[in-house]
Amino acid sequence: MIQMAGIHSSALIGSNVTLGSNVSVGAGSIIHDNAEIGDNTIIGANVILGEPLAAYYSSPSQYVNPQLKIGPSAVIRSGSVIYAGCEIGENFATGHGAVIRERTMIGHNTRIGTHSDIQGECIIGSYVRIHSNVITSQHVRIHDFVWILPHCVLADCPHPPSEELFPATIEAYAVIAANSVILPGVTVGAESLVGASSVVSRDVVPGAVVVGHPAKQVAWAADLKSRVTGEPMYPWRGHFLRGMPWEAKGFAAWSKERHVE
């Protein structure tokens, strides 16, 4: 069997790197200076952690790599690149070839899909699901429990190229379906649903369903029914459990306990 546990002999580990207990680092992977990786993290092959920032290229000899922190129990799949200066919570996962640029902050139990490109200084919450090949501008704010499906773009520049940038905000429990573009400065409201291939040019009110180019409200999420059972499909936390903190007991019971605590 190919060695997957422990530090592969072909991996390269920089200075001042702290690896927790039971961390594995795959063949050909590189961990640059000043990274701190939590216990039980599994790093695949050809991963780069703590990738140096652009400042490195202009003066390599004076450059100090910012700290990268990744919490315990992450799975970083092959070919992913996470820049220095990021701070990521526990139970993180990436697909293959995901790129996360510098100083992005990510909560816990979040997943960034294959070939996605998070352009840096973003703030991403917990239990967020970013699917394959999603591209965000810098400084985007994505709240907890957001789903962004494949091929979406979160843009920040209304008149490119310019230095006037307005990153998007995606509020909790919102869902953005495949191939949609969120235009600069837009807030996608909590528990809303953006249909596939939409172009969202104005704020989406909480709980709305918007579709089209430009996207317009066509329904409320609460009115959407299952094709199978006829039951309401939103709020999705009522029926979707897999990987969520309420997986064992359902949202209602989980939520009630949290408020008691």
Tokens of 89: 């919570």
C-beta separation of 176 from 162 below 8 A = no
Among 23, 25, 45, 76, binds a copy of itself (CB under 8 A): 45
Among 28, 206, 235, 250, binds a copy of itself (CB under 8 A): 28
207 interacts with a copy of itself by CB under 8 A: no
Q: How far is the CB of 141 from a copy of itself (least distance, A)?
A: 19
Q: Which stretch binds a copy of itself (CB under 8 A): 48-56, 84-92, 102-110, 250-258?
A: 48-56
Closest CA to 35 of 61, 5, 65, 57: 65
DSSP one-letter string for 193-238:
EEPTT-EE-SPBPTTEEEEETTEEEEEEGGG-B-TTT--B--SGGG
181 interacts with a copy of itself by CB under 8 A: yes
46 interacts with a copy of itself by CB under 8 A: yes
Residues 105-124 that bind a copy of itself (CB under 8 A): 114-115, 117, 119
58 Cβ partners below 8 Å, 6+ apart? none
- For residue 25, how far is the Cα from the chain centroid? 22
Tokens of 100: 């996360």
155 Cβ partners below 8 Å, 6+ apart? 137, 168, 181, 182, 183, 184
7 interacts with a copy of itself by CB under 8 A: no
Complex with a copy of itself: residue 56 or 254, whichever CB lies closer: 56
Among 20, 36, 39, 42, binds a copy of itself (CB under 8 A): 42
Among 20, 39, 55, 78, binds a copy of itself (CB under 8 A): 78
161 interacts with a copy of itself by CB under 8 A: yes
37 interacts with a copy of itself by CB under 8 A: no
CA distances from 256 to 191, 250, 252, 259 (A): 19, 10, 6, 5
Per-residue x/- mask for a copy of itself, residues 213 to 242, rule CB under 8 A? x----------x-xxx----xx-x--xx-x
197 interacts with a copy of itself by CB under 8 A: yes
- How far apart are alpha carbons 84 and 161 in whole angstroms? 26
Which burial class, exposed, middle or buried, applies to 36 when counting CB atoms under 10 A from its CB (0-12, 13-18, 19+)? middle
33 interacts with a copy of itself by CB under 8 A: yes
Q: Which stretch binds a copy of itself (CB under 8 A): 5-13, 84-92, 102-110, 250-258?
A: 5-13
